[in-house]
């Protein structure tokens, strides 16, 4: 009788060990699907359609270290957000720590640092010290986006602001440079994005008026699809990339600063 009980315990132990090994194998070969938008210099696309940029390069290396197979697809931003909110993707590339994102996502550690700024034509005499200085001005921003939300928060309660929303940041800056918004116009933009498009499109007649808010970018994991331990595994990969200099190396070609890296 005792021998039979011992055998049963051995079989139970073997079954548990096999189940654990199978779970580890499944985790090791995990395939994840991320969505995003094109957002140079953070997320770019080559002529042959390959996605690149600092956030994509860092994601791929972190996934490699976690032994995950990660696919990234670019789409219209509104569709990307809808896909994540409906549980149609494992995560979002290009997330901020904001209530709108925490509502449906678990967020990774911050990876890249940037800021929001105001831009005007180079010959503008405008000065900026506080949001009230934007009274009576046209404020152009791209949306729907957190850029739009933050611009609206900036001018909340400021009289006479005409908020104009475009489909992408490049259009905002090009129209500003061409004088399409009139003389009293200001663009609200991510500073790294503005730097990219001003250089790429030769918009030398624009200048930065002021920095209005620092921000960081990270990765969002869809709460309805995230598995136990997944976020911790990803953050450990980011930590190891920080320690060995991989984060700095992968961000350098895009000219983007790292968030606090320990």
Residue 183 confidence (pLDDT): 87
How, if at all, do strands 206-222 and 105-107 pair?
Answer: antiparallel
Strand partners, 210: 118
CATH class of 29-112+215-252: alpha beta
31 has pLDDT over 90: yes
Q: Which CATH architecture has domain 113-212?
A: 3-Layer(aba) Sandwich (3.40)
Question: For 80-136, what is each residue's pLDDT tens digit?
Answer: 999 999 999 999 999 999 998 999 999 999 999 999 999 999 999 999 999 999 999
Burial status of residue 160 (CB atoms within 10 A of its CB: 0-12, 13-18, 19 or more): exposed
Domain boundaries defined on the chain? 29-112+215-252, 113-212
Residue with tokens 């606090």: 260
Two domains, one topology: 29-112+215-252 and 113-212:
yes
> Does residue 13 carry a pLDDT above 60?
no
Rounded to 5°, the CA angle 135-136-138 comes to 105
With beta carbons less than 8 A apart as the criterion, state whether 256 and 193 touch. Answer: no
Cis omega (within 30 of 0) for bond into 41: yes
């Amino acid at each position: 009788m005792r021998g039979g009980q011992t055998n049963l315990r051995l079989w139970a132990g073997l079954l548990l060990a096999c189940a654990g090994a199978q779970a580890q194998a499944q985790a090791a070969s995990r395939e994840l699907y991320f969505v995003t938008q094109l957002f140079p210099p953070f997320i770019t696309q080559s002529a042959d359609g390959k996605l690149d940029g600092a956030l994509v390069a860092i994601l791929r290396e972190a996934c490699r270290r976690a032994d995950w197979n990660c696919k990234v697809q670019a789409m219209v931003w509104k569709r990307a957000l809808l896909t994540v909110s409906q549980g149609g993707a494992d995560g979002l590339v290009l997330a901020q720590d904001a209530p709108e994102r925490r509502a449906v996502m678990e967020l990774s550690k911050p990876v890249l640092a940037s800021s929001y700024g105001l831009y005007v034509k180079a010959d503008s005499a405008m000065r900026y010290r506080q949001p009230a200085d934007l009274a009576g001005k046209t404020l152009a921003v791209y949306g729907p986006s957190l850029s739009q939300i933050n611009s609206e928060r900036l001018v909340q309660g400021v009289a006479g602001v005409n908020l104009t929303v475009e489909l992408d940041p490049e259009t905002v800056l090009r129209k500003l440079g061409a004088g399409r918004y009139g003389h009293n116009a200001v663009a609200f933009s991510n500073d790294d994005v503005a730097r990219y498009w001003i250089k790429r499109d030769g918009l030398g007649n624009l200048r930065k008026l002021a920095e209005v808010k620092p921000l960081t970018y990270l990765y969002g994991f869809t709460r309805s699809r995230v598995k136990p331990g997944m976020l911790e595994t990803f953050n450990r990969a980011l930590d190891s990339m920080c320690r060995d200099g991989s984060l700095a190396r992968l961000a350098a070609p895009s000219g983007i600063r790292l968030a606090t890296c320990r």
